[in-house]
Structure 1
Amino acid sequence: MKKYFGSIIFFSMAITVAAQLNINLFITDFKLSVAVICFPAFLFIAQSFPVIPVTVFGAVGVFASRLLLVWLQNGRLSGAVRSYYPEVIFYLCYGLAFYLYTRSLGGSRLDRNRAILPLFAIDYGANLIELLFRIRLEAFTPKAQASILLAAAARTAVIWCVLTVFAHYRLLLLKQEHEERYKRLVLLISKLDGEVMWMKKNTTLIEDTMNTSYRLYERLKERDESSPLARSALKVAKDIHEVKKEYLLIMRGISETLDEELEGDGMYLDELLELLKDTMIRSAAEHKKKLTMETDCRDRVYTNRHYALMSIFRNLFVNALEAAEKDEVHIYVKEQAEEDMFIFTVTDDGPGVREEDQADIFKAGFSTKINFSTGEVNRGLGLNLVKDLVEGQFGGTLALSSIPGSTTFTIRIPQEKMKVVV
């Protein structure tokens, strides 16, 4: 309710202020202002624009502002009320007619092209009624009619121009919003694609665990058929089997959904890296770090394996960001083609990887990143996933070279695995 009254006051004040931009026509105190342009403009911006309340408060505000100006200029209000009350009639008539027109739209958005004639008629009619209050039947003289017809045409033309600008601006905002949603969707699919691959790896572990549990049951059963341990081992094997079935159903559902999306169009590598760059810069800012990223793509690489590539680069970027000890992080990405291979290098200026850790860094669960304030240890799956994607999906190789102050990951992928057009 407070918001509703606030909008009424805001719109009414805007109309009052806009009414101060006016010109006099052929008779004294008959002012043509730009205030009525606000009615369709506000309705175009806000579908819930309260026409009637704003009409009443706006008319009162315009009338009060006229009297205030007269008093400030002359120190008295002699004749001012009589001079300006017809303007109140104009705003009330315009607002009521405009309200009836908007009601006839049935909730549809105001169309600037279809509204030209109705808005022209409303403007002309409201001006005619005001003139009838001011000069009676002289309002029908050719001079008076020509004036209000010209005024109605001019204001309607301005309204059309304003609504056209608003429409193009709205389209621009929608385009930007859709682009942002697309970026988030692409990143989400990339993350899901990586997680599904990890889930597929885990199915083997689940199968092995179930088989181990069942073999344990058989051994215990050979020793003692009524052994509680044997029954427990069998129950564990059955439970793991049920978990496996549910796990596979979930994974299949996600995979089928992703497969439909993954069959879509591809993406250029430089666009992919630019998308990741924007995302990682925002992510770094959330962790109170400043990230700068340079990319050097020698070839115009296009691939329909962009989700997997995005997962590879995103995990490498996240790894660099999390490993950084400084507040400023710099990442350099380079792409070049050599014979039948694409070579990608990702270099960061972090603390580097200790020599004794380099042999284990691609193993699942290995992590050197600890949050000392919470005691939370990173799950250590990112680089393992990168290795699996590079070697499993692309048939490539992943290598690490690191010294204090610099770490470089080198990825070599056969060109035919990328399904590219260069």
Structure 2
Amino acid sequence: MKKIKSIFIIAIVVALASQVNINIFAPGFIIALSVAILPVFLYFYKQINPIEILFATGIIYSLYKGMFLYFSTNNFHITIRFIETDVLFYFSYGILFYLLYWKKKKKKKGITYLFFCAFLCDLLSNIIEISTMIHFRGYSYLMFQDLVIIAFVRAIISVCIILLIKHYKSLLIKEEHEERYRKLILMTSSIKSEIYFMNKNNSDIEDVMKKAYLLYKTISQQKYPSELKNLSLDIAKDVHEIKKDYISVIKGLEEMVGEKTDNVKMDIKDIVNIIGMDVMEYIKRNNPNVTLKFEIKNNFNVVEHFYLVCILRNLIYNSIEAMDKTKNGYVKILISKSQEECIFIISDNGKGIKEKDIEYIFNPGFSTKFNGETGDICRGIGLAHVNGIVNDVFSGTIDVHSITGKGTEFVIKIKQDKMEGVSVCDTI
């Protein structure tokens, strides 16, 4: 059914395109631009026999043309005489293309070979058609010369259309791959940052388990009720089971992202491009009044690029969220190198942070974000994430400067060897 539908669509398109034509040599013999698109269809529909396509095209085109001829001449015989040669042209074209191109499936057929086949099919089919019209007499050198030129021009047009379509398709595929890669980087960045935080929490769970077991031992040594003793033991066991499940989740996530991804360096410009596209989509959805600007003064490579993506995204998102009521808000990210340090400055003109809160903003659970309508309080893990990753993964520093009502600035400094994964001596 799909094959029949494709053949029918091709025939209809060719019939409609035939309206662009000129009449030369003999009455009823027209040179139509529609023939130039035939090789295009035959090239992209390789799975369909060209004889089937051209036979259907010849019939549908002739019925289409014959209908108009009959209404204009009101003569059935004249109509048949004009359209029978059109049918012959398309039938000839289909058979020739089948023999020259489609049948040679094992042969490597490039675009040059297609041009050669399209040229010959066009030329020979036209010769067959016009020979029938002039009853195989009255040939002239000029006629063959013009048919060669026409076939050559239409073959060139066909090849150009095919190349343009292929180029357009390759651009779409490239764009699709880049979009998938961008989403993969962002997703992996989020997962790896969560793994980092879960590993930190795992040590806290271990401490709770040890304290629970210590409590059990202390109760066992004292004359406390057995119910209390059993309860303390159950708590220690439950915490141990939670830890086991927690470790299983961490291992599963680590297997998902893989270790090989960390060995590939990424250019800071590529990282900025990925983050920028993601943030712009976020701004369009949440706060269209905010403008985003990146400025990269020095280029460098990043080994732990997933973690850097997490850091910058968190800080940029925080800045955008801090400007929910700010007109003409902006977020600026300045990236540079100075004295063997990579420096990231993220600034905004949002509502700022109160001076009394600045010393607590990197504490897990601390948040100033409160929704007056729902009563929800942000869980406050974002900046704790950022601070932990900057310190533990990059051995860097993060400072914050803020003025209430004017804006906030985060300054991150990371040693070049930690950022690029090489010693400073290697870069000299």
Q: Given the two structures, how large is their TM-score scaled by the length of structure 1?
A: 0.83
CA distance in 2: counterparts of 1:352 and 1:172, whole angstroms: 43
Deviations 1:118-154 (A, max 9, x none): 4344334543543454344449887766655554444
CA distance in 2: counterparts of 1:188 and 1:165, whole angstroms: 34
Q: SS where residue 364 of structure 2 aligns?
A: coil
| Structure 2 equivalent of residue 205 of structure 1 | 204
Give % identity.
Answer: 28
One-letter amino acid of the counterpart of residue 343, structure 2? I
Describe the shift of the 1:112–1:5 C-alpha distance in structure 2 as closer, same or farther (beyond 3 A).
Answer: same
Note the residue ranges of structure 2 that are not aligned, 5 or more in a row. none
| Structure 2 equivalent of residue 351 of structure 1 | 351
8 Å CA contact retained: 2:266, 2:303: yes
Of 79-88 and 251-260, the range deviating more from structure 2: 251-260
Indicate yes or no: 2:406 matched with 1:405: yes
Q: SS where residue 112 of structure 2 aligns?
A: coil
8 Å CA contact retained: 1:281, 1:290: no
8 Å CA contact retained: 1:320, 1:348: yes
| Structure 1 equivalent of residue 303 of structure 2 | 304
CA distance in 2: counterparts of 1:147 and 1:105, whole angstroms: 29
CA distance in 2: counterparts of 1:77 and 1:222, whole angstroms: 117
Of 181-190 and 145-154, the range deviating more from structure 2: 145-154
Q: SS where residue 89 of structure 2 aligns?
A: helix
| Structure 2 equivalent of residue 41 of structure 1 | 40
CA distance in 2: counterparts of 1:232 and 1:93, whole angstroms: 92
Indicate yes or no: 2:390 matched with 1:390: yes
8 Å CA contact retained: 2:26, 2:133: no
Describe the shift of the 1:418–1:137 C-alpha distance in structure 2 as closer, same or farther (beyond 3 A).
Answer: same
Note the residue ranges of structure 1 that are not aligned, 5 or more in a row. none
CA distance in 1: counterparts of 2:369 and 2:235, whole angstroms: 34
| Structure 1 equivalent of residue 28 of structure 2 | 29
8 Å CA contact retained: 2:267, 2:299: no
| Post-superposition offset of 1:346 | 0.8
Q: SS where residue 413 of structure 1 aligns?
A: strand
| Structure 1 equivalent of residue 217 of structure 2 | 218
8 Å CA contact retained: 2:62, 2:86: yes
Describe the shift of the 1:189–1:49 C-alpha distance in structure 2 as closer, same or farther (beyond 3 A).
Answer: farther
| Structure 2 equivalent of residue 324 of structure 1 | 323
Q: Given the two structures, how large is their TM-score scaled by the length of structure 2?
A: 0.82
| Structure 2 equivalent of residue 265 of structure 1 | 265
| Structure 2 equivalent of residue 172 of structure 1 | 171
Describe the shift of the 1:150–1:218 C-alpha distance in structure 2 as closer, same or farther (beyond 3 A).
Answer: same
Q: Write out aligned runs for 1:55-204 (5 A).
A: 55=54, 58-67=57-66, 70=69, 74=72, 76-77=74-75, 79-95=78-94, 98=97, 104=103, 111-131=110-130, 133-138=132-137, 148-204=147-203
8 Å CA contact retained: 1:213, 1:237: yes
CA distance in 1: counterparts of 2:253 and 2:106, whole angstroms: 40
CA distance in 1: counterparts of 2:53 and 2:385, whole angstroms: 60
| Post-superposition offset of 1:397 | 1.8
Deviations 1:186-206 (A, max 9, x none): 222322221221121111022
| Structure 2 equivalent of residue 280 of structure 1 | 279
Deviations 1:101-124 (A, max 9, x none): 786476999742342344344334
One-letter amino acid of the counterpart of residue 410, structure 1? V
Of 7-16 and 168-177, the range deviating more from structure 2: 7-16
| Post-superposition offset of 1:331 | 0.2
| Structure 2 equivalent of residue 227 of structure 1 | 226
One-letter amino acid of the counterpart of residue 411, structure 2? T
8 Å CA contact retained: 1:131, 1:139: no
Of 105-114 and 406-415, the range deviating more from structure 2: 105-114
Describe the shift of the 1:395–1:141 C-alpha distance in structure 2 as closer, same or farther (beyond 3 A).
Answer: same
CA distance in 2: counterparts of 1:108 and 1:222, whole angstroms: 88
